Structure 1
Amino acid sequence: MPETGDHGASIELESLTKRYPGSAQPAVDNVSMEIKAGEVVVFVGPSGCGKSTTLKMINRLIEPTGGRIRIGGEDVTDMDPVKLRRKVGYAIQSAGLFPHMTVAQNIGIVPKMIGWSKPRVRERTEELLDLVGLDAAEFRGRYPRQLSGGQQQRVGVARALAADPPVLLMDEPFGAVDPITRDHLQDELIRLQHELHKTIVFVTHDFDEAIKIGDRIAVLRERSHIAQFDTPEAILTNPADDFVSGFVGAGAALKRLNLTRVRDVEITEYPTVTVDDPLQQIFNRLRTSGSNEILLLDRRGRPYKWLRRGDLMRAQGSLARAGTLVHDTVTRDATLRDALEAVLTDNAGRVVVTGRRGEYTGVVDMETLMNSVHEMLEADRLDAMEHQHELESLRASQTHAEQEGAAGPAAVSGPGGER
């Protein structure tokens, strides 16, 4: 296996241990793990199990008591920790932005420290703001207090990526924002990873979040002992023990909705018009569309309102008060669970799918989502039947072996027919 991917670097933890003075037990005890280049690995476990301590030892914010850390094959256990941290991006809960610095200054701090020129720092800052979905002209001069929680987290991720590090460490980065913003930030991270292929180690206590973003999940017990380290599919369908089952919880089949993205199902076209279209043209478009409603887009092509025939009849020359505002949207990187929740809160049973700048790209409806759920449940049923068949075959083989053993030792013929 190559040590580095296109943009990420492998991480190897070898017998990593952390003991605090005066504690009877180590906080982290003898953890060994290999993380592939370009992989997203999520640490999930109960509070106090040592997952954040393990994460912080990778960039030596917490110094290990024992063990080794290798990044891209290079032993960084004894490297200058400040030099190491400049090569490893780090994003935390509540963003951790410097309040007295502008957005641009926050993002550019590490590139500036390692000697990048001002034009290069400025160019990188604008590139990253665009990458995390913030308009550079609007946001680069703002201070953190002038941003929403979700915007602060986006800037925090941009700052962690500023010097283009191969490794990104994320310690519950979306834990302090509301659920809707959190879903959008998770989608944004998934989209970014498709473009950047970093090696990401992500800490969360939320198993659903782990399923959604992780290529592999490490379920950790106390002192960061690894209960199971596998793909989300494998953990959902075959948890290693009761401790892991407790994290999976009830409804494993429905949790698998977090493994399928909106881009994996059929996204249908819907009749659309824009706010600049004449009212008669909008009415004609609705009449010829064969649909009971039409989607009104704003001047940037973003979903604005759902319009029905009755809305247009009552419009009286203006759309200002006509129609129903579009509240919930999902991106192509959203999970089917996100889409299902959005559809269930909408009386009409559909949700608009948008692109990275919020532009309209299509619609997903309840029928499509329910078909996907039924397919997953059927796949689970077939897997369970196959697993049961394998168990029965194994028991039959064991019974057969026991019966043969009871009949006496097998005869082994030697030269000359001797036994």
Structure 2
Amino acid sequence: MSEATTTTASNAASSAPKAAARTTGATIELENLTKRYPGSSEPAVDSVNMEIKAGELVIFVGPSGCGKSTTLKMINRLIEPTSGRIRIDGEDVTDMDPVKLRRKIGYAIQSSGLFPHMTVAQNIALVPKMIGWPTAKIKDRVEEMLDLVGLDPGEFRGRYPRQLSGGQQQRVGVARALAADPPVLLMDEPFGAVDPITRDHLQDELIRLQHELHKTIVFVTHDFDEAIKLGDRIAVLRERSHIAQFDTPEAILTNPADDFVSGFVGAGAALKRLNLTRVRDVEVRDYPTVTVDDPLQEIFNKLRDGTTSELLLLDKRGRPYKWLRRGDLMRARGSLARAGTLVHDTVTRDATLRDALEAVLTESAGRVAVTGRRGEYTGVVDMETLMNSVHELLEQDRLDAIEHQHDLQDQRAEQTHRAQEGEGAGYGEDAS
């Protein structure tokens, strides 16, 4: 993966003291929150009541036009509520100066929203500068935030947004939103404008960041698979932001509240549950590797004498580059330039098993390389491991269905028994 990915254990350990010093998340309470636009017969958002826990990642998902983005924007009052209250950590912010409020809440949107005339460093420094941080502290924070989102400060701080890929722009957008260390981060379809592979990696990056920072994140999406992958809880919204179900991803997948929610879950709930398990939760195996700096004869000997018919070739930075097979080296003619098959995709330890399964299917090797924060190789996950996980989920679904059927039978038997007792009591009364 050319854009940086997730963290290694050593990087995570080295950043732990900084992470521990950061502000954690804040509770958010919405009380009868309503938005009514002039001239409209119905409110756009109608009396939403919700409590979001500190450090929780909550997803708003629903059909287009249901009011999910409007509800999100009322939290930082980019859209002013018509009525109702907003409390953050118990403080009523409904009547606070909205500009001051927004400086305390991170905000990330689709297509990053970076200012094109500012460098990456200037974009990230924007809010800390506005609230009066000293220059030295701002400079350190910019370096820290770039490293946090997996971008090399030396390489990226002086670039302009036009010099970045879409995924890199989104990373900078998240860094800017977090720069002033807000307890709350609002994200309005932030990954909707990038390609699917980059989107998967950005989702993994957000999961990693949340593990480190424990912010309160409210995230809007129309993609239910994204909601399952990211959310601690999901709010499935009907028209006017009426809450159809507000629960954990697993609870919604296994027990949708009604047909409307079932429509969002769709077919293949068991496979969707692969989004609930991370690569870090299954066995990540080591695999024979060589590097582009190794002598060709040494690589040939390792392939010839090894227990596998394939090696993973790493580039100069230790990142997965090519899959090499024995026959490839016979055609190499003293060079690795034309040998092997390029690695098309990788996953991180924060990726879901569904991501891993899709990646394995795109790779011809029957396995996918697992990478760290800078894209460095850390191991592989193979098809056998993934299929075992799929079979376990399907078996659990089968057992759950049997248990549910038994519960229904017990309920019917109990209802029948009560009805019969009632009839018997009635006959006794008539006889007397």
TM-score, normalised by the number of residues in structure 1: 0.95
2:344 is matched with 327
2:160 is matched with 143
Moved more, 402-411 or 129-138: 402-411
1:291 is matched with 308
1:69 is matched with 86
Moved more, 394-403 or 47-56: 394-403
Q: How far is 1:315 from its partner?
A: 2.1
1:252-308 per-position Cα deviation (integer Å, ceiling 9, x unaligned): 111111111111111111101111111122122223321101111111110111111
Are 2:353 and 1:339 aligned?
no
Quick one: which of 301, 315, 332 aligns to 2:332? 315
1:85 is matched with 102
Are 2:250 and 1:233 aligned?
yes
2:231 is matched with 214
- Secondary structure of 1:294's match? strand
Quick one: which of 34, 37, 44 aligns to 1:27? 44
CA distance in 1, matches of 2:305, 2:47: 68
2:425 is matched with 408
- Secondary structure of 1:407's match? helix
Quick one: which of 97, 110, 113 aligns to 1:96? 113
CA distance in 1, matches of 2:168, 2:329: 36
2:68 is matched with 51
- Secondary structure of 2:425's match? coil
1:39 is matched with 56
Q: How far is 1:6 from its partner?
A: 6.6
CA distance in 1, matches of 2:426, 2:157: 81
**Large movers: runs of 4+ above 4 Å:** none
1:141-160 per-position Cα deviation (integer Å, ceiling 9, x unaligned): 11111111111110000000
Q: Counterpart amino acid of 2:303?
A: L
Q: How far is 1:369 from its partner?
A: 0.7
| Alpha carbons 2:23, 2:181 under 8 Å: kept | no
2:208 is matched with 191
- Secondary structure of 1:228's match? strand
CA distance in 2, matches of 1:25, 1:409: 52
CA distance in 2, matches of 1:86, 1:104: 18
- Secondary structure of 1:120's match? helix
Are 2:288 and 1:278 aligned?
no
Moved more, 346-355 or 192-201: 346-355
1:155 is matched with 172
Are 2:313 and 1:264 aligned?
no
Q: How far is 1:125 from its partner?
A: 0.5
Quick one: which of 361, 372, 377 aligns to 2:378? 361
Are 2:276 and 1:255 aligned?
no
Q: Counterpart amino acid of 1:131?
A: L
1:202 is matched with 219
Q: How far is 1:350 from its partner?
A: 1.1
Are 2:191 and 1:174 aligned?
yes
CA distance in 1, matches of 2:426, 2:127: 72
- Secondary structure of 1:266's match? coil
CA distance in 2, matches of 1:381, 1:397: 24
Quick one: which of 342, 360, 369 aligns to 1:352? 369
Quick one: which of 367, 373, 391 aligns to 1:374? 391
CA distance in 2, matches of 1:347, 1:127: 38
CA distance in 2, matches of 1:41, 1:278: 51
Structure 2: state its 5+ residue gaps: 1-21
Q: How far is 1:313 from its partner?
A: 2.2
Give the number of the structure with larger relative contact order, counting CA–CA contacts within 8 Å between residues 6 or more apart.
2
Structure 1: state its 5+ residue gaps: 412-419
1:388 is matched with 405
Q: Percent identity?
A: 85
CA distance in 2, matches of 1:329, 1:201: 28
Q: Counterpart amino acid of 2:367?
A: R
Q: Counterpart amino acid of 2:278?
A: R
Q: How far is 1:309 from its partner?
A: 1.2
| Alpha carbons 1:271, 1:286 under 8 Å: kept | no
1:113-139 per-position Cα deviation (integer Å, ceiling 9, x unaligned): 000011111110111111111111111
TM-score, normalised by the number of residues in structure 2: 0.92
- Secondary structure of 2:391's match? helix
Q: How far is 1:314 from its partner?
A: 2.4
Q: Counterpart amino acid of 1:137?
A: G
Q: How far is 1:410 from its partner?
A: 12
CA distance in 2, matches of 1:6, 1:136: 23
Size of the aligned set, in residue pairs, is 407
Are 2:92 and 1:110 aligned?
no
- CA RMSD across the alignment: 1.4
Q: How far is 1:53 from its partner?
A: 0.3
Q: How far is 1:338 from its partner?
A: 0.9
- Secondary structure of 2:143's match? helix
| Alpha carbons 2:343, 2:363 under 8 Å: kept | no
Q: How far is 1:348 from its partner?
A: 2.5
CA distance in 2, matches of 1:319, 1:144: 35
CA distance in 1, matches of 2:271, 2:241: 28
Q: Counterpart amino acid of 1:12?
A: E
CA distance in 2, matches of 1:368, 1:318: 34
CA distance in 2, matches of 1:361, 1:143: 32
| Alpha carbons 1:16, 1:68 under 8 Å: kept | yes
Moved more, 314-323 or 120-129: 314-323
